[in-house]
Amino acid sequence: MSDQKPVVLVPGKIHPRVLERFQGKVEVVTAPVGVKPALSAEVAERVRAVAVSGSVNADWIDGLPNLEIISNFGVGYDGVDAKHAAKRGIIVTNTPDVLNDEVADTTIALLINTVRRLYQAESYLRDGKWVKEGPFALSPFSLRGRKVGLFGMGRIGQEIAKRLEPFKVEIGYHTRSKRDELSYTYYASLKDMASAVDILICIVPGTPETHKAINGEIFSALGSNGVFINVGRGSSVDEDAMIKALEDGTLGGAGLDVFYSEPNVPEALLAFDNVSLLPHVASASVPTRNAMADLVADNILGWFAERKVLTPVPETPVKG
């Protein structure tokens, strides 16, 4: 048995670099995405690792009796039942840090694009309207004198805050507890922060606690001069409430990289000229995605080589 390569299951698709890194080192088996694993008992018994870009629920975990590690492609791992995995002594890893800069950069770009309507301005030029109709309309908003609140102040949130500092805006944040090492203003509740700022940036993971936490009450507190930016999880937002707030002018504008039911985007959002929409691309550059893929592979290969992983999630039982 010792000369046999460990078997790694890949449900659905994953970044091709992960598979390249596995060549000659492990045996890869694939399976379609589904509620339960579609594997023979013989194959399921041989699987010792899962490399995934998506979800691994309790049924998948229980269907793999010799599973040791689940390596998740992405910093967010809400699709993996990490608590259930922990009960079975299974390691779960994610890909933090390697995408912090890319997501933070995209957040600032999305914010500026939303406030200054740069996509609309470029489209105006490309459509020949500058020549035919004259100058593009002045943008109703600016970053000058703004107060920005970050919902979430983890690694990525802190990188976003650092990038905001040169724009001379006031910065605050709301998390479950105050971070004494930070000089930014702390707000004890999301509503308190929304009432105090006029730009709200969401960078929290998708959890039961954050599910639709940004609702009509929050948009009303943010106000008609307010701009909402989401690069966290679409599940954190009540999209119906956001659309209503945009329709009646309660909310001034929005920049969204994530949505509640991706890749489905509510038709109503496409009609607003004060909304900037991206197809979940905050970390989508070749260098960053390659680094994420390497970390997925390194966690699995390191586990089998040395019984060590680089980036276990907090719920996981670190063994070895």
Q: How far apart are CA 129 and CA 121, in angstroms?
A: 10
Mean pLDDT score, 269-293: 97
Phi, psi of 19 (to 5 degrees): -65, -35
Mean pLDDT score, 2-18: 92
Which residues, 6 or more positions from 254, have their beta carbon under 8 angstroms from its beta carbon? 114, 227, 228, 229, 230, 242, 246, 272, 274, 275, 276
% of the chain at pLDDT higher than 90: 96
Give the other-Cβ count within 10 Å of 123's Cβ: 12
3-class DSSP assignment, residue 277? strand
Residue 87 lies in a domain: yes
Q: How far is CA 147 from CA 159, 192, 196, 199, in A?
A: 17, 13, 8, 6
Is the same domain home to 202 and 248?
A: yes
Nearest CA among 282, 216, 278, 279 for reference residue 250: 216
Mean pLDDT of the chain: 96
Q: How far apart are CA 206 and CA 76, in angstroms?
A: 8
Q: How far is CA 53 from CA 175, 257, 277, in A?
A: 27, 18, 23
Is the same domain home to 82 and 148?
A: no
Residue 311 lies in a domain: no
Nearest CA among 152, 149, 171 for reference residue 162: 171
Is the same domain home to 35 and 138?
A: no
- Residues linked to residue 9 through DSSP beta bridges, in sequence order: 29, 50
88, 179, 280, 315: the catalytic one is 280
Is the same domain home to 90 and 179?
A: no
Is the same domain home to 83 and 172?
A: no
Predicted TM-score of the model (pTM): 0.93
Residue 319 lies in a domain: no
Is the same domain home to 169 and 260?
A: yes
The model's pLDDT over 58-114, given as tens digits with 9 standing for 90+, comes to: 999 999 999 999 999 999 999 999 999 999 999 999 999 999 999 999 999 999 999
The model's pLDDT over 146-199, given as tens digits with 9 standing for 90+, comes to: 999 999 999 999 999 999 999 999 999 999 999 999 999 999 999 999 999 999
* pLDDT value at residue 3: 63
Lowest mean per-residue pLDDT among 21-25, 32-36, 201-205, 304-308: 32-36
Statement: residue 301 has pLDDT above 60 = yes
* pLDDT value at residue 320: 45
User: Is 48 labeled as catalytic in the residue annotation?
Assistant: no
48, 117, 233, 289: the catalytic one is 233
Tell me the pLDDT band of 319, cut-offs 50, 70 and 90. low
Residue 159 lies in a domain: yes
Q: How far apart are CA 259 and CA 39, in angstroms?
A: 31
- As given in the structure block, the two tokens for residue 282 are 């905050």
For the chain, how many structural domains are there in total? 2
Domain CATH number, residue 57: 3.40.50.720
Statement: residue 296 has pLDDT above 70 = yes
Residue 201 lies in a domain: yes
Is the same domain home to 117 and 42?
A: no
Q: How far apart are CA 196 and CA 187, in angstroms?
A: 9
Give the other-Cβ count within 10 Å of 270's Cβ: 9
Question: Angle CA(163)–CA(246)–CA(114) in degrees, nearest 5?
Answer: 30
Nearest CA among 235, 257, 237 for reference residue 245: 237
User: Is 262 labeled as catalytic in the residue annotation?
Assistant: yes
Is the same domain home to 230 and 93?
A: no
Mean pLDDT score, 211-221: 98
Q: Which helix (H) or strand (E) holds 288?
A: helix 286-306
Is the same domain home to 58 and 191?
A: no
209, 211, 262, 307: the catalytic one is 262
Statement: residue 310 has pLDDT above 50 = yes
3-class DSSP assignment, residue 303? helix
* pLDDT value at residue 45: 97
Mean pLDDT score, 272-286: 97
Statement: residue 227 has pLDDT above 80 = yes
Is the same domain home to 196 and 292?
A: no
Residue 253 lies in a domain: yes
User: Is 174 labeled as catalytic in the residue annotation?
Assistant: no
Is the same domain home to 203 and 293?
A: no
Is the same domain home to 244 and 107?
A: yes
The model's pLDDT over 14-72, given as tens digits with 9 standing for 90+, comes to: 999 999 999 999 999 999 998 888 899 999 999 999 999 999 999 999 999 999 999 99
Residue 211 lies in a domain: yes
Residue 313 lies in a domain: no
Q: How far apart are CA 14 and CA 51, in angstroms?
A: 8
Q: Name the residue range of residue 85's domain.
A: 7-98+287-306
